[in-house]
Amino acid sequence: MSTPRTALVVGARGGIGGAVARSLLRHGWRVRGLARRPAGDVPGMEWIAGDAMDRAAVVRAAQGVQAVIHAVNPPGYRNWDTLVLPMLDNSMAAALAAGARLVLPGTVYNFGPDAFADPGEDAPQRPLTRKGAIRVEMERRLRDAVPAGLRSLVVRAGDYFGPGAASNWFAQGLVGGRRPVRGLTDPGRPGVGHQWAYLPDVAETIARLLAREDDLDPAARFHLAGHWDADGTEMIAAIRRALGRPSLPVRRFPWWLVSVARPFVPFCREMHEMRYLWRMPLRLTNGKLVRFLGDEPHTPLDVAVAAALGDLKQPLPEQGLCP
């Protein structure tokens, strides 16, 4: 019998980190979870207390692993400009020291409005947003580290939703941060498509790609199709079905309020910068992934939405996405 491979998940308490940890465990991996406040909500994972900003702690935690999953974000998604890149540098140092592949769950934020409807993995990245620029820089650092021996895997996807993830457009935008759900909020422009990514599907894709380690490029990149809401109404309809409330009211998202608040509230400024993703149909296509894996893990929308809603048992922050 072969020895199980081991992965370190940096940011294992987050939605994507927890999902990847669970998927890897199902695939027979040993998994270590690094978090400032370890929690035992992933059965079978070895928890390690540590801060992603502490390079020595990350390197120690990664000793002997074959994969480092970089799934950490600043608390509350604040201070991206000062925390995100140093945390990535620490994970890169850990992966290099261990001879492991570094995995970065990516987003569509890399692409600006000039990317047209269906940018490929190698399409030019000219974001107009702060977070988008940081995402581009993260991926650049991974590619530039190839001559030093770093192997990386970037899996880009649309807006995340699913169990374990509350700080996203699904939970705090559409559902609106209220319990019980009294209505839905639609941030999109009527008739414009939007792309969603169910976290367990993203995680399963990462696990299947890592199972093909010997076939991956040194700086591998793939796009997920996820769930494409062709006209902006399918996700809302699925939420209504899951709640059994076909007449649940829907109101337009108050972008005007975000615009007013953005000079004073940094998060509102970042939200406003991302508005273009709700006003134009930017869609990642999975042709390369399907050619490599044969198919893409895909949970039916109604099943995924029911699971995401069922996980939101506690009241969400009353301020929603933008206080």
Q: What is the pLDDT of residues 6-17, one digit of tens each?
A: 999 999 988 999
What is the per-residue pLDDT for 322? 42
Do 31 and 21 form a contact (C-beta atoms < 8 A)?
Answer: yes
Note the pLDDT of residue 204: 98
The whole-number pLDDT of residue 40 equals 66
pLDDT in tens, 20-79: 999 999 999 999 999 888 876 788 999 999 999 999 999 999 999 999 999 998 765 567
pLDDT in tens, 86-120: 999 999 999 999 999 999 999 998 998 887 778 89
Q: Which residues contact 254 (CB under 8 A, 6 or more apart)?
A: none
| pLDDT value at residue 317 | 41
Quick one: pLDDT at residue 77?
58
Q: Which pLDDT score is estimated for 321?
A: 42
251-269 pLDDT per residue, tens: 998 888 888 888 887 767 7
Determine if the peptide bond prior to 180 is cis (ω within 30°): yes
Tell me what pLDDT residue 112 has. 86
Alpha-carbon distance 84 to 134, whole Å?
A: 8
pLDDT at res. 75: 65
**Are the beta carbons of 268 and 209 closer than 8 angstroms?**
no
Alpha carbons 172 and 319: distance in angstroms, whole number: 9
For the ranges 114-128, 162-176, 189-203, 263-277, the maximum mean pLDDT occurs at 189-203
Instruction: Tell me how far CA of residue 215 lies from CA of 173, 210, 219, 220, 247, in angstroms.
Output: 39, 9, 12, 10, 49
pLDDT at 143 over 60: yes
pLDDT of 224 > 80? The answer is yes
Q: What's residue 186's pLDDT?
A: 92
Position with higher pLDDT, 190 vs 314: 190
pTM over 0.75: yes
Please give the pLDDT value at position 313. 59
What architecture does CATH give domain 6-165+196-230+281-299? 3-Layer(aba) Sandwich (3.40)
Q: Where are the domains of the chain?
A: 6-165+196-230+281-299
